[in-house]
């Protein structure tokens, strides 16, 4: 559920915009609605609401690392921390008029790092693919959707493209920024939808080994231990 929560960045960051627009009235001229955007006093609140899922996952990852001492949780925390910095740079750039200046360059640099970071985690950890010696090229040895191998490659390509959709904000000309934001948010839904299939599907089907266990009370019980092939 925590991963699903991270797809609500678009929705949460626009809550203040929706409230501001309705408070001004739907009959108000469209140009007046822009006062609810990046120049609004509520813009910092939009940032806080937008990164709330990342903050929750960052704290969760740090706690898991503290409990287990597994480095993977620390790396995952770094991903969410980088995401927070990336969104901060974006909100600062938008607040200063979306000019091609130092905030813009910083946002592009940080967001590029975050995108590669997140993609690497998607493929290597969440989907557990890009195995060079797999019988399925760049996938895993064991797959769930064996009759639809093309789906995995389609997901790799589309996941990469959607991760880089932030470049749509760069051109000064073109569709309105609100329309671009809507398109990015809509395609994020598509990315998360296929992510929900790829994460469990890219793990090998579990095998169960029945083993005996002696409980503390001395009773002999049978349990099922699931071992997942992570080859």
Is 121 inside a domain boundary? yes
Q: Is residue 128 part of a domain?
A: yes
Could you give the CA distance from residue 195 to residue 154 in angstroms, rounded to a whole number?
12
pLDDT > 70: what percent of the chain?
81
> Is 137 in a helix, a strand, or coil?
coil
Instruction: Give the model's pLDDT for residue 225.
Output: 32
Identify any residues that bridge with 212 across adjacent strands, giving them in sequence order.
Answer: 222
Distance (Å, whole) CA 122 – CA 199: 9
Q: Residue 210 falls within a domain, yes or no?
A: no
What's the confidence (pLDDT) of residue 194?
87
For residue 74, is pLDDT > 90? Answer: yes
Taking residue 122's Cβ as centre, other Cβ atoms within 10 Å add up to: 21
Name the pLDDT band for 86 (thresholds 50, 70, 90). Answer: very high
Give pLDDT, residue 54. 95
How would residue 59 be classed by pLDDT, with cut points 50, 70 and 90? Answer: very high
Q: Do the domain assignments include residue 185?
A: yes
> Higher pLDDT residue, 112 or 139?
112
Residue among 53, 76, 80 nearest 65 (CA): 76
Q: Considering the domain boundaries, does residue 162 fall inside one?
A: yes
82 neighbors 110 (Cβ within 8 angstroms)? yes
> What pLDDT is stored for residue 230 in this prediction?
34
Specify if 221 maps to a domain. Answer: no
Asked, for residue 194, whether it belongs to a domain, the answer is yes
Domains contained in the chain, number:
1
The pLDDT, as a whole number, for residue 144 is 80
Look up the domain containing 178 and give its range. Answer: 2-204
Question: Quick check: is 227 in a domain?
Answer: no
Q: Is the pLDDT of residue 119 over 60?
A: yes
**3-class DSSP state of 1:** coil
Confidence at residue 208, expressed as pLDDT on a 0 to 100 scale:
36
For the ranges 21-30, 117-126, 196-205, the maximum mean pLDDT occurs at 117-126
């Amino acid at each position: 559920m925590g991963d699903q929560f991270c797809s609500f960045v678009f929705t949460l960051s626009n809550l203040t915009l929706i409230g501001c627009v309705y408070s001004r009235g739907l009959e108000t001229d469209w140009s007046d609605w822009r006062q609810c955007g990046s120049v609004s006093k509520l813009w910092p609140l939009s940032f806080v609401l937008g990164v709330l899922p990342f903050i929750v996952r960052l704290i969760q990852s740090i706690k898991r690392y503290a409990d287990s001492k597994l480095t993977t949780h620390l790396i995952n925390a770094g991903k969410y921390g980088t995401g927070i910095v990336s969104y901060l740079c974006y909100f600062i750039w938008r607040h200063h008029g979306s000019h091609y200046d130092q905030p813009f360059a910083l946002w592009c640099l940080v967001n590029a790092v975050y995108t590669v970071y997140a993609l690497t985690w998607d493929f290597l950890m969440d989907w557990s693919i890009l195995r060079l010696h797999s019988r399925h090229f760049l996938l895993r040895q064991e797959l769930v959707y064996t009759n639809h191998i093309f789906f995995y490659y389609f997901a790799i390509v589309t996941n990469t493209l959607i991760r880089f959709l932030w470049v749509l904000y760069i051109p000064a000309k073109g569709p309105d920024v609100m329309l671009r934001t809507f398109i990015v948010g809509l395609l994020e839904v598509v990315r998360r939808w296929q992510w929900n299939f790829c994460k469990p599907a890219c793990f090998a089907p579990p095998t169960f080994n029945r083993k005996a266990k002696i409980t503390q009370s001395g009773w002999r019980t049978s349990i099922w231990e699931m071992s997942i092939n992570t080859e």
